[in-house]
Amino acid sequence: MQGPRRRSILISRLGGRPLGGVLGELRGIILDGEVPPGSAIPVDAVAAAFGVSRIPVREALMTLIGEGLVDHRPNGGYRVATMTAGEFTEIYLVREALETAALRAAVELATEDDDRQALAAHGALDAAVVAFDGRLYHRESRRFHLALLRPCRMRRLLHMLDTAWNMTEPLQPMTHLDSADRALLHADHAGMLAAFRARDAAALTAVFAEHHHRLQAAIGALPHDTGLFDED
């Protein structure tokens, strides 16, 4: 005899709050790390939560599959996308190349207003470190990086970077790191900010490369029982 069915984590996150559009809500929940990779996405229950038919839910899920945020397996239904360690490394190589190109251009075009935004983003990141809040640190780290990148004004490049970045967001890799690793990464952020404000492209890209490699090494050293990656 089967035991009682467990309520989907996704449905639990949808409950008790006002909901907007199906696509936007599902994307936001997945990107914020509220639902771990591999979590089931029950179409009927999602449709009921939004008060819609299955059709808009399936359409939203097809879009999220295209974005790399959802997987679909025959006879297995939909689930939040998982990623192997090798796939994660591959995406990070793409991110590093795109971000390096954007940073070089951003330094040349940055203004005093861009400096103010970068300083504000770094201040928010400082607060996340003090609060020992891994998820907040993860979110503010992305905000800080984007503050350095946006001045490049390269819309298509930023879109490609955003897409690649989103693919790693459900894993919330920064939340798995200890305080010592986060402190080292945050020191890199300070170095990046200083080089950005000095308009020193060579120094900025050098610090960023070290930062990216440090992050990948820290994540690669995590114990396998964290559930961060799917099996190869």
For residue 207, tell me if it sits in a domain: yes
- Has residue 5 got a pLDDT over 60? no
Same domain, yes or no: 132 and 149? yes
Same domain, yes or no: 171 and 157? yes
100 or 171, which is more confident: 100
Using 50, 70 and 90 to split pLDDT, how confident is the model at 7? low
Q: Distance (Å, rounded) from C-alpha 1 to C-alpha 199?
A: 67
For residue 232, tell me if it sits in a domain: no
Residue pair 27/62 in contact by the 8 Å Cβ criterion: no
pLDDT tens sequence across 165-221: 999 888 888 888 888 888 899 999 999 999 999 999 999 999 999 999 998 888 888
Q: How many domains does the chain have?
A: 2
Same domain, yes or no: 91 and 190? yes
pLDDT at 106: 98
| Domain carrying residue 63 | 9-80
Q: Which amino acid is at 104?
A: R
Same domain, yes or no: 138 and 63? no
pLDDT tens sequence across 33-89: 888 898 999 999 999 999 999 999 999 999 999 999 999 988 889 999 998 888 988
What percentage of the chain exceeds 90 in pLDDT? 64
Quick check: pTM over 0.75?
yes
Which of helix, strand or coil describes residue 80? Answer: strand
CATH number of the domain enclosing 139: 1.20.120.530
- Has residue 135 got a pLDDT over 90? no
For 34-58, give the DSSP string: SS-TT-EE-HHHHHHHHT--HHHHH
For residue 138, tell me if it sits in a domain: yes
pLDDT at 226: 66
